[in-house]
């Protein structure tokens, strides 16, 4: 894909009985507290020098969480793609929600089980074959596709992490019902969540370093390392302060 795109499986439907104001959900890529720059080099805890060239994932089951724990939900499955030709902050979806103050947001990364094992040949975007998110050898979709290069010796060498399977569906909770530290006010200029890609490398198996020089970390399609990537990513999401 040469152009960035955010694809929706279904149109956003009315949220709750009281339609009010429009709000956008945005995702921004960061490294620590700085915006990620595609193609720029970074260093992970294992000392590997790396750059990011592609990040693509499915997001679904989005809901704003009220202070009483109830939710205002948005329907739809969306495929989000970041590449060197895209902005590093993208609007994932637009929705209409009742005005007010919310305790945070939750969402899932991946494809729900009821959609994950359909015949890809007969699916429409974002679950079609052109999505680049389907394993022909392993029925089901890639939930999270992360690719780039690292320096092996003096040679730029590709690395990739493709995470999927029903058990690795991620449920991200960015809501605080006790301290209200994640307050979201609507109307606003938008709700922004950050994905810190450096945290993918936070830890390897058994607490060892995530060393891309080791084959099991440079090419990840499943297995124990994929389980560790799942755990690393659970802490990679955060809710940005509203502008």
| pLDDT, tens only, 208-236 | 999 999 999 999 998 999 999 999 999 99
pLDDT at 236: 97
Q: What is the pLDDT of residue 14?
A: 36
Nearest to 171 by CA among 101, 226, 110: 110
Q: Is residue 139 part of a domain?
A: yes
Tokens 């022909």 belong to: 136
Residue 15 has pLDDT above 70, yes or no: no
User: For the chain, what is the domain count?
Assistant: 1
Share of the chain above pLDDT 90, in %: 81
Q: Classify residue 1: in a domain, yes or no.
A: no
pLDDT of 19 reads 56
Which token pair is 92?
Answer: 């994932």
Q: Domain span at residue 223?
A: 6-239
Mean pLDDT, range 105-119, rounded to an integer: 95
Cis peptide before 126 (omega within 30 of 0): yes
pTM of the model: 0.89
pLDDT, position 58: 98
Predicted confidence (pLDDT) at residue 103 exceeds the cutoff of 60: yes
The mean per-residue pLDDT over the stretch 108-120 comes to 94
Is residue 144 domain-resident? yes
Is 75 inside a domain boundary? yes
Provide the pairing of β-strand 155-164 with 237-239.
Answer: unpaired
What pLDDT digit, counting tens, does each position of 43-62 carry?
A: 999 999 999 999 999 999 99
Q: Is residue 142 part of a domain?
A: yes
Q: Are strands 155-164 and 219-220 parallel, antiparallel or unpaired?
A: parallel
Give the integer Cα–Cα distance in Å for 200 and 167: 18
69 lies in a domain? yes
Q: Find out whether 25 and 62 touch, Cβ atoms under 8 Å.
A: yes
pLDDT, one tens digit per residue, over 130-157 is: 999 998 877 799 999 999 999 999 999 9
* Stretch among 12-21, 56-65, 193-202, 218-227 having the lowest mean pLDDT: 12-21
Tokens of 89: 């902050």
Average pLDDT, the chain: 90
Residue 125 lies in a domain: yes
């Amino acid at each position: 894909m040469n152009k960035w795109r955010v694809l929706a499986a279904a149109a956003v439907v009315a949220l709750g009985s009281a339609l009010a104001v429009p709000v956008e959900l945005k995702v921004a890529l960061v490294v620590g507290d700085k915006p990620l720059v595609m193609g720029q080099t970074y260093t992970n805890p294992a000392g590997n020098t790396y750059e990011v060239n592609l990040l693509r994932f499915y997001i679904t089951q989005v809901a704003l969480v009220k202070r009483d724990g109830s939710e205002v939900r948005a329907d739809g499955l969306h495929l989000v793609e970041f590449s060197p030709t895209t902005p590093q902050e993208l609007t994932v979806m637009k929705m209409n929600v009742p005005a007010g103050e919310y305790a945070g947001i939750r969402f899932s990364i991946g494809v729900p089980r009821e959609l994950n094992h359909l015949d890809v040949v007969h699916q429409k975007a974002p679950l079609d074959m052109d999505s680049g998110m389907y394993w022909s050898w392993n029925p089901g979709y890639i939930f999270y596709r992360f690719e780039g290069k690292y320096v092996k010796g003096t040679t730029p060498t590709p690395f990739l992490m493709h995470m999927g399977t029903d058990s690795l569906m991620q449920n991200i909770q960015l809501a605080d019902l006790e301290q209200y530290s994640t307050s979201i006010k609507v109307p606003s200029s938008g709700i922004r969540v950050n994905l810190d890609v450096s945290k993918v490398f936070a830890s390897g198996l058994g607490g060892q370093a995530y060393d891309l020089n080791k084959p099991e970390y440079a090419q990840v399609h499943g297995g124990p390392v994929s389980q560790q990537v799942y755990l690393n990513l659970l802490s990679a999401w955060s809710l940005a302060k509203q502008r």
